[in-house]
Amino acid sequence: MSTGTTTTSPPGDDVAPHGSTGSRATRILGVLTLVGSALVVWLAFIATPADRVQGESVRLLYLHVPSVTVAYLACGITFVASAMWLWKRSEWWDIVGSSAAEIASVFTAVTLLTGMVWGQATWGTAWEWDPRLTSTLFLFLLLVGYQALRAAAPDRDARARRSAVVGLLLIPNIVVVNRSVEWWRSLHQDATLFRTDLDFRIEGLMLFTWMFATVVGLVLLAWLLIHRFRVGWLANRAEERRLDDAVAARRAEGGVPPVVDLAPTAAPTTGSGTGGDA
């Protein structure tokens, strides 16, 4: 069946069992994520001290900020994948972009929820129409809209094209989110680590725990992205099979003999799509 886009087999197709999204690489990433998460919990709640100003509520830092980092990176992947799809029209880039967007929406939601809990503890209110909070909410709604467009378009090419246009809006929105505390008056604190005056406001074990939690979050992102990509690829193959079965059923109803494809079947690839656009 022709869909107007280049198709490819999912990465790791040579090692993943048929119909499965797991492989040796994903199992290693999964173990690293579990072990790393356990260490983060121990560091965040037992090993690190409370903050002199924020007290015990500072422990939300080790979930809130890594979630922001993962959400930003996943949005960046969606942005790049959207641009590449508009250029290459490759199924590979479409699945990468949609997979990363789903993950980004989850981590943006975690960012908002942990930020509300932290805000209640430090500001005395869970929500204010603050520039940082408002722009982050808009980012989340943009990600939801991206997925809604995909769900509303039955045609795969139209689905990829519309969502790719929305995907290009993610990075400009992230710039607004990141710079909002400098461009407008905000309740949210300014940068803690990446400061132009190099006056870092965190150090020692607290800094290590923050960085380690971020690394664990990035490993989790890789694990989720690989699995979600493979699910998306399998979903496309199932969609093609349903369409082929429907066409065959209609031809049978009309007494038309089935079409026999005599072309040789190409061996599946395990890397990027045609043209090396991965």
> Is the whole model's pTM more than 0.95, yes or no?
no
Residue 55's DSSP bridge partners are 51
The amino acid sitting at 15 is V
How far is 228 from 74, CA to CA, in rounded Å?
Answer: 13
Higher pLDDT, 143 or 274: 143
**Per-residue pLDDT tens over the stretch 98-128:** 999 999 999 999 999 999 998 888 888 888 8
143 pLDDT above the threshold of 80 = yes
Residue 7 has pLDDT above 60, yes or no: no
Alpha helices in 43-130, H assignment, sequence order: 61-88, 91-122
Which band of pLDDT confidence, cut at 50, 70 and 90, is reported for residue 267? very low
- Residue appearing with tokens 């603050």: 130
Comparing 22 with 277, which gets the higher pLDDT?
22
pLDDT digits (tens, 9 = 90+) for 217-263: 999 999 999 999 999 999 888 877 866 565 666 666 666 665 555 44
